Structure 1
Amino acid sequence: MRAFLQKIASPRNPRTFACLDEQGICRAFRQSAQPPGPAGWHEVNEQRLTWLGTPLPKSAFARH
Structure 2
Amino acid sequence: MRALLQKFASRPQQRIFACLDEHGICRAFHQSAQPPGSAGWHEVTEQRLNWLGARLPKSAFTSR
TM class by shorter-chain length?
0.7 to 0.9
**Matched residue, 2:15:** 15
**Matched residue, 1:30:** 30
CA distance, structure 2, for counterparts of residue 35 and residue 13 of structure 1: 12
User: Which string of whole-angstrom CA distances, capped at 9 and with x for unpartnered residues, describes residues 12-34 of structure 1?
Assistant: 11000000000000000000111
SS of equivalent residue, structure 2 residue 59: helix
**Matched residue, 1:49:** 49
Paired residues in the alignment total 58
Using structure 1 for the length normalisation, give the TM-score: 0.82
Structure 2 residue identity aligned to 1:50: N
CA distance, structure 2, for counterparts of residue 34 and residue 12 of structure 1: 9
Structure 2 residue identity aligned to 1:14: Q
Using structure 2 for the length normalisation, give the TM-score: 0.82
- Percent of aligned pairs with the same amino acid: 74
- Alignment root-mean-square deviation, CA: 1.6
Unaligned 5+ runs, structure 1: 1-5
User: Where does structure 1 differ by over 4 angstroms across 4 or more consecutive aligned residues?
Assistant: none
